Amino acid sequence: MYLILRGQHLVASRRNPLLCCYRASPENKTFVIKNMTPGEYKYQQDLQKQLSSCPNLRTVVDGLPGPELFIYPFLQTDCGPVILHPGKYIGNGLRGNQMWRSPESGARSIQGTPLNIFSFGIVPIYVVLKEMGFCVTDEELAADDSWRHLKCHISFFVDEDGLNSILQWTGLENPFFERIMDPTGSFEKEGEN
């Protein structure tokens, strides 16, 4: 399916990187068009194909690889009232922060399977233990050495081969490469104490 768009409406945009969301209505059908983070098109397309049979997910119906655009069906559903119990929703206390982000995400590096595994790993830990494994206070996050959470992430999830893979994935030219390297100098090798 290829859409010729008449009358695009900008719904949302983010400038760095430039990400936009459009609503288009050709032939009395409504679609949402989103551009991808540069370089993510193929990965996202493969992921969308795997999920396309899931009835509870809105997946892509078409795409344009040149400008890296995905086209989704427009869904407007009234799900009825939602009961939010005090302290049990995002608006009060349960906010994500950089502790939930993978080293790749924190370094603004390429997103891919390692990131998905990392993110998936954190959620079950939180659900099973009912506590956040990397929890720190807001004051600690604002501290001069706030990047110390990388040491916790790296030491908990990564062996030497995994660290080398993260560094290769991040790329030497990435300004966060050294940031990822910094905490590794304080690690002890297995068997040393």
The boundaries of the domain holding residue 166 are 98-183
**Cα distance between residue 184 and residue 193, in whole Å:** 16
- In this structure, the answer to whether residues 165 and 114 fall within a common structural domain is yes
Given a cut of 80, whether residue 170 has pLDDT beyond it is: no
Give dist(CA 84, CA 87) in Å, integer.
8
Question: What is the distance between the alpha carbons of residues 146 and 123, in angstroms, rounded to a whole number?
Answer: 22
Residue 171 within a domain = yes
pTM over 0.75: no
The whole-number average pLDDT for the span 177-185 is 73
Number of independent structural domains in the chain: 2
| 59 and 114 both lie in a single domain | no
Residue 83 lies in a domain: no
How crowded is the C-beta side of 83, counted as CA atoms within 13 Å? 1
Mean pLDDT, range 42-67, rounded to an integer: 84
Residue 102 sits in the same domain as residue 30: no
The pLDDT > 90 percentage for the chain reads 0
CA–CA distance, 177 with 153 (Å, rounded to integer)? 15
Does residue 69 sit in the same domain as residue 109?
no
More confident residue, 81 or 138: 138
- On whether residue 160 sits in a domain, the answer given is yes
Examine residue 82 and state whether it is found in any structural domain, yes or no: no
Quote the CA–CA distance of 140 and 157 in Å, as a whole number.
21
pLDDT of residue 89: 47
- Whether residues 53 and 17 share a domain: the answer is yes
| 91: pLDDT strictly greater than 50 | no
Question: Which of these, 165, 157, 159, lies nearest to 133 by C-alpha position?
Answer: 157
Asked if the structure places residue 90 within a domain, the reply is: no
Q: Is residue 85 part of a domain?
A: no
- Per-residue pLDDT, 139: 73
Q: How far apart are CA 81 and CA 75, in angstroms?
A: 18
**Distances from the Cα of 121 to the Cα of 44, 126, 157, angstroms:** 20, 9, 9
Residues 6+ apart with CB under 8 A from 71: 1, 3, 31, 32, 33, 60, 61, 62, 63, 64
Amino acid identity of 139?
A: E
